[in-house]
C-alpha cells in the first residue's frame, strides 16, 4: 500500500475537535494524516500531499452548515436548508452524539490532554468508535472499518500489488506496433493511491454515467470529463461526468467511498486483482469519505446528505421534451410545435440547439432565421410549450461582441501560462475563450447573463460542451484557471468546470426568475445535483445504447444525480421504427424524458416513423402525463432522502442474488417495476420479479415474486408490474402539464395492504419551503383506499377519485 512507503510505525495521535491527527515514525508531519468523524456513519480520511490543506469542492460549505451547532437548526427549517432534507438535521444530531463524548472538556483542554474516551489505543492501533462504526488506524496509516458488531466492512490491503499483464517490454512494444493499447498494468505518475480489500461476493455500483453494466466490479475507469462522439462501448473508461463515488454491497451491509479529488483520477475495481480495488489521482490529496450503512439506500442517503440533494424541479420539466440539432429556424420550430399538437402528442418543451444563436455566440439570437424570437417563445407558451436554449461555455473572439468585450476587460477568461493573455481554442463559433468559472466574480457575471434569456421568456438552460470540449485538441494541463481563492492549472479544474458553470447558471436563474431553475448539463462532478439535471450525452441510435441506458441511469441515481435521462431514440446514427418505439417506451419512465437527435441523421419526431410507431408514442407519452403526480412524489422523496426516482432492483431487494447484476429492469420508486424490451426483433422477454405479489399493469395478471417467466411483448407493450398493496396517483391525460393540474387526482389502489404518502404544491417556485404544500396519507386495504390530509398549506384538489384495480 502506498501509504506504507510514507508512513512507518504509528507513534501517537492528537484530537482537534472531531478530527484525529496521527504521528508516525519517519516524520512526514507535513502530510497531516487524519481521520475525522463526520457522523456516526461517515468518516473522512485525509493526507495533505499537495500542502494546500483540506479543499473540498463537492461539499462546498454544506458540511460546515450541518456540523456547526449554531446553524444546524437551519437543516430543520423549511428555508434554504430544506433542499437537503430533514436527514441533514438527523445527521447533525448523530454527530453531536460523538461531540457529547468530547464535551466533558473544552476543545483547548481536550487538545492539551490529547485523549477522549471515544478514541483509544488498542495494542498498536488507535481505535475510533461511533455508535455504528469502529475505525482502526494501524501502522503505515492502514485504516480499517468495522460495523458495531465487529464485522469487517472495509479493510486496507496489506499485500503486494499484482502485475496485470505480466508482459515484458518486447511484448509490449510488439503490441504497440500492431496498434493495440498496451500497458504493463501499473498506474504511472499517481501522486496518491489507496488499495482496499475486496471480498469474493462484493458488488460495486455508482461512479455516475460510466459505460457498461450495473455492477462495476472487474472494470477500471478514469475520472476525466471527456467529449467522445464515437459510439460508447463497454470498455470506455471516461465519459462526460466524473463522480468519484462508489458503493459496495456486501453479504451483510454496505458502504460507500467518495474520493473527493477532482484532478484526473482512476478506479480499478478488481480488474488488477480479485483481492483488492485501487483508487488514486495524479495530483491533489488522499481525501475520501467512508460511509457505512445497513443498506445501499442508507449509503446513498449519507452521500447525498454530504454533497447535497437534488432539489425539486418545476412540474412541467417532468413532461415530454422534443429536441433536435437541426431546428435551424423559426419556421422549423413552429412546424415541430404544430406537428406535436396536430398528432395529439403531449409536450411541455422544445429545445433550441446551437442554430438559434447569432453565429454561435452565447446570449445572442439569430436575427436572420428568426423574425421575432420573443414572439416565437410567446406563441409556444400559448400552446403550453416552454423553450429551453442551449448555452456553451466557449465565448467567440470577436471585437464589439459584448460578452467577449466585458470578459476581456475584467480578466474573466482562462489564461495562458505565465501570461495575462486569454487562452484561445476553437469550438462552434471558431476562435473562443473560456470563462473562468472557478472565480466567484465570474460566476456572478455569468449568472447575470441569464437574465437575457429569462427576459425573453425562456424556460431553462441546457449547458453543453462544458467538459470543456474544444476543437483544436484538448486544453493543455497548464492553462491557468481559478480555484475559488487561488490560481490553479487546468489539470486541477477540468473535472469541476461543468460543475462551476452549472452553479453559476443555477444561481442566475434562481435570482432573476424567482422559480426553481431548470438547468441541464453534460459535464459535472459530485455535488452537481444541487444545481443541475443531466443527460448521458451523445449516445447513438443503436440497440447496445438502449440497453446501456438502464444501468447508466441507475448508477447516476445512486451517485446523487436524480433527474437524468438518455436521448430517446439516440442522438447519433439513424433510429429504426422498432428501435424508436422501444426507446420511447423505456424513456417515458426515466426522470428526464427527451427525444433528441443530430443534424444529418434521420429526424426523430414520433410521426416520422409511420402510423404504428406514432400510435405507440402517443400511448406512452400519455402514460407519462398520467403518472405525473407519482413522478412528482418521487422527486420530492429524493429531495428529502436522496433516494433516486429510478433505481436498480438491487436497491430495493439487495438480499436477492438474482438482482445484483440485473441490467435490463429497473424500479420506478419502490412500487413499479419496468422491464423494457431492448433486443431487436423481440416480441417476448424474460422477466424476473423479486419477492412479493405483483400485478401486470396492462392486464392485471397476478404474479408471485422470486420467479422468472416469459412475458409476451408485442411492439406496443413494455412490461410493467405494480407491487401488491400499492397506490399509484395519476392525472387524466393532457397535452401539457398546465392543463387542470389540480382539478382531479386519481388514486389507483391495487389488491393488498399499504400506505402511501402523496405530495402537492404549486410546481413552480420555492413557496413549498415556507410550508405552501399539501401532504396526504392514503391507506389501502385490498383496493379500498382512505385519504387523510397530513399537512395543508396549498389549494386542495377539486376532486379525488379512488379506482380499485383488478
Q: Cite the active site residues.
A: 464, 467, 538
CA distances from 796 to 104, 186, 427, 778 (A): 51, 62, 50, 15
Handedness of CA 540, 541, 543, 545 (dihedral sign): positive
> Got the DSSP string for 252-267?
S-EEEEEE---SSEEE
Three cell numbers written together for 498: 461543468
> Left, alpha or beta for 748 (phi > 0: left; psi -120 to 50: alpha)?
beta
Q: How far apart are CA 161 and CA 163, in angstroms?
A: 7
C-alpha cell at 705: 415474486
d(CA 516, CA 406): 28
* β partners of residue 304: none
DSSP string of 133-163, one letter each residue: EEEEEEGGGEEEEEETTS-EEE-B--SPPPP
Task: Evaluate whether 345 touches 354 at the Cβ level (below 8 Å).
Answer: no
CA 713 and chain centroid, separation: 31
Whether residue 563 contacts residue 591, with contact meaning beta carbons closer than 8 Å, is answered with: yes
> Which of 333, 619, 404, 556 lies closest to 627 in space, CA to CA?
619
Residue 599: count other Cβ atoms within 10 Å of its Cβ. Answer: 12
* Percent helix, strand and coil across the chain, each to the nearest 5: 30, 25, 45
d(CA 586, CA 377) in angstroms, rounded, equals 30
CA distances from 27 to 24, 173, 283 (A): 6, 41, 22
Q: ∠ CA(352), CA(356), CA(360), 5° rounding?
A: 115
Element (H, E) at 696: strand 693-696
Whole-number Cα distances in Å, 210 to 186, 547, 661, 678, 693: 22, 13, 16, 19, 34
Residue 440: Cβ within 10 Å count: 14
Question: Nearest Cα to 352, choosing from 486, 272, 461?
Answer: 461
84 burial (CB, 10 Å; 0-12 / 13-18 / 19+) is buried
The CA distance from 491 to 481, in Å, is 10
Nearest Cα to Cα of residue 530 among 314, 318, 315, 307: 307
Determine phi and psi for 388, rounding to 5 degrees.
-120, 130
Spell out the SS3 assignment of 290-314: EEEECCHHHHHHHHHHHHCCCCCCC
Q: For residues 726 and 88, what is the distance between their CA atoms, to the nearest angstrom? A: 29
> Residue 603 and residue 7: Cα distance in Å, rounded?
60
Q: Contact, 201 vs 191, CB < 8 A?
A: no
Beta-bridged to residue 540, according to DSSP, are 572
209's grid cell = 454515467
Q: Is the peptide bond before 379 cis (omega within 30 degrees of 0)?
A: no
What does R_g of the chain's alpha carbons equal in angstroms?
26
Amino acid at each position: 500500500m502506498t501509504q506504507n512507503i510514507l508512513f512507518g510505525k504509528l507513534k501517537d495521535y492528537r484530537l482537534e475537535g472531531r478530527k484525529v491527527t496521527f504521528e508516525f515514525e519517519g516524520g512526514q508531519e507535513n502530510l497531516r494524516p487524519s481521520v475525522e468523524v463526520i457522523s456516526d456513519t461517515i468518516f473522512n480520511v485525509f493526507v495533505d500531499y499537495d500542502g494546500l490543506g483540506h479543499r473540498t469542492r463537492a461539499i462546498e460549505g454544506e458540511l460546515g452548515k450541518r456540523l456547526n451547532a449554531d446553524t444546524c437548526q437551519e437543516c430543520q427549517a423549511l428555508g434554504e436548508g430544506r433542499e437537503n432534507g430533514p436527514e441533514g438535521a438527523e445527521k447533525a444530531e448523530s454527530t453531536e452524539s460523538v461531540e457529547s463524548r468530547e464535551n466533558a472538556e473544552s476543545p483547548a483542554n481536550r487538545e492539551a490532554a490529547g485523549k477522549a474516551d471515544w478514541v483509544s489505543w488498542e495494542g498498536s492501533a488507535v481505535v475510533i468508535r461511533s455508535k455504528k462504526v469502529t475505525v482502526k488506524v494501524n501502522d503505515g496509516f492502514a485504516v480499517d472499518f468495522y460495523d458495531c458488531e465487529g464485522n469487517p466492512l472495509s479493510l486496507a490491503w496489506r499485500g503486494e500489488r499484482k502485475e496485470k499483464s505480466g508482459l515484458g517490454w518486447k511484448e509490449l512494444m510488439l503490441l504497440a506496433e500492431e496498434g493495440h493499447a498496451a500497458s504493463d498494468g501499473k498506474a504511472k505518475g499517481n501522486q496518491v493511491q489507496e488499495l482496499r480489500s475486496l471480498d469474493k461476493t462484493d458488488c460495486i455500483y455508482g461512479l455516475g454515467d460510466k459505460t457498461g453494466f450495473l455492477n462495476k466490479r472487474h472494470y477500471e475507469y478514469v475520472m476525466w470529463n471527456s467529449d467522445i462522439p464515437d459510439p460508447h462501448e463497454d470498455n470506455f473508461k471516461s465519459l462526460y461526468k466524473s463522480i468519484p463515488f462508489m458503493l459496495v454491497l456486501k453479504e451483510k451491509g454496505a458502504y460507500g467511498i467518495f474520493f473527493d479529488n477532482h484532478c484526473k483520477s482512476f478506479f480499478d475495481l478488481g480488474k488488477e486483482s480479485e483481492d483488492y480495488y485501487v483508487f488514486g489521482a495524479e495530483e491533489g490529496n488522499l481525501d475520501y469519505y467512508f460511509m457505512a450503512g445497513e443498506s445501499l439506500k442508507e449509503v446513498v442517503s449519507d452521500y447525498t446528505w454530504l454533497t447535497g440533494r437534488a432539489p425539486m424541479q418545476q412540474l412541467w420539466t417532468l413532461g415530454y421534451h422534443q429536441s433536435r440539432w437541426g431546428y435551424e429556424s423559426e419556421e422549423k420550430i413552429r412546424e415541430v410545435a404544430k406537428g406535436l399538437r396536430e398528432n395529439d402528442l403531449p409536450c411541455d418543451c422544445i429545445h433550441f440547439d446551437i442554430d438559434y444563436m447569432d453565429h454561435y455566440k452565447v446570449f445572442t439570437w439569430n436575427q436572420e432565421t428568426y423574425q421575432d424570437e420573443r414572439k416565437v417563445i410567446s406563441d409556444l407558451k400559448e400552446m403550453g410549450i416552454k423553450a429551453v436554449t442551449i448555452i456553451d461555455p466557449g465565448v467567440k473572439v470577436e471585437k464589439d461582441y459584448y460578452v467577449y468585450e466585458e470578459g476581456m476587460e475584467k480578466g474573466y477568461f482562462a489564461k495562458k501560462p505565465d501570461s495575462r493573455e486569454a487562452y484561445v481554442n476553437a469550438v462552434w463559433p471558431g476562435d473562443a475563450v473560456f470563462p473562468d468559472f472557478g472565480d466567484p466574480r465570474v460566476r456572478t457575471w455569468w449568472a447575470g447573463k441569464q437574465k437575457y434569456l429569462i427576459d425573453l421568456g425562456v424556460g431553462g438552460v441546457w449547458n453543453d460542451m462544458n467538459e470543456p470540449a474544444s476543437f483544436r485538441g484538448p486544453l493543455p494541463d497548464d492553462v491557468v484557471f481559478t480555484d475559488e481563492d487561488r490560481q490553479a492549472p487546468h489539470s486541477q479544474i477540468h473535472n469541476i468546470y461543468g460543475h462551476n458553470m452549472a452553479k453559476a447558471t443555477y444561481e442566475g436563474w434562481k435570482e432573476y426568475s424567482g422559480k426553481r431553475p431548470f438547468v441541464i448539463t453534460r459535464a459535472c462532478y459530485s455535488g452537481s445535483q444541487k444545481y443541475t439535471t443531466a443527460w448521458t450525452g451523445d449516445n447513438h441510435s443503436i440497440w447496445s445504447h438502449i440497453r446501456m441506458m438502464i444501468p447508466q441511469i441507475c448508477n447516476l441515481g445512486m451517485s446523487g444525480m436524480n433527474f437524468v435521462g438518455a436521448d430517446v431514440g439516440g442522438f447519433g446514427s439513424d433510429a429504426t421504427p422498432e428501435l424508436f418505439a422501444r426507446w420511447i417506451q423505456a424513456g417515458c419512465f426515466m426522470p428526464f424524458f427527451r427525444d433528441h437527435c443530430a443534424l444529418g441523421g434521420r429526424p426523430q419526431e414520433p410521426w416520422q416513423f409511420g402510423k404504428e410507431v406514432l400510435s405507440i408514442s402517443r400511448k406512452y407519452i400519455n402514460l407519462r402525463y398520467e403518472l405525473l403526480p407519482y413522478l412528482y412524489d418521487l422527486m420530492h422523496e429524493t429531495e428529502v432522502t436522496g433516494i433516486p426516482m429510478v433505481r436498480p432492483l438491487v436497491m430495493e431487494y439487495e438480499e436477492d442474488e438474482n438482482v445484483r447484476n440485473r441490467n435490463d429492469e429497473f424500479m420506478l420508486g419502490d412500487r413499479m417495476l419496468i422491464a423494457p424490451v431492448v433486443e431487436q426483433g423481440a416480441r417476448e422477454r424474460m422477466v424476473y420479479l423479486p419477492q412479493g405479489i405483483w400485478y401486470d399493469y396492462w392486464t392485471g395478471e397476478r404474479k408471485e415474486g422470486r420467479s422468472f417467466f416469459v412475458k409476451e411483448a408485442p411492439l406496443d407493450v413494455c412490461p410493467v408490474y405494480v407491487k401488491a398493496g400499492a397506490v399509484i396517483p395519476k392525472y387524466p391525460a393532457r397535452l401539457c402539464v398546465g392543463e387542470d393540474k389540480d382539478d382531479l387526482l386519481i388514486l389507483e389502489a391495487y389488491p393488498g395492504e399499504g400506505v402511501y404518502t402523496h405530495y402537492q404544491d404549486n410546481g413552480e417556485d420555492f413557496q413549498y419551503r415556507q410550508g405552501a404544500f399539501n401532504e396526504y396519507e392514503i391507506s389501502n386495504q385490498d383496493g379500498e383506499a382512505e385519504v387523510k390530509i397530513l399537512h395543508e398549506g396549498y389549494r386542495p384538489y377539486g376532486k379525488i377519485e379512488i379506482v380499485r384495480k383488478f
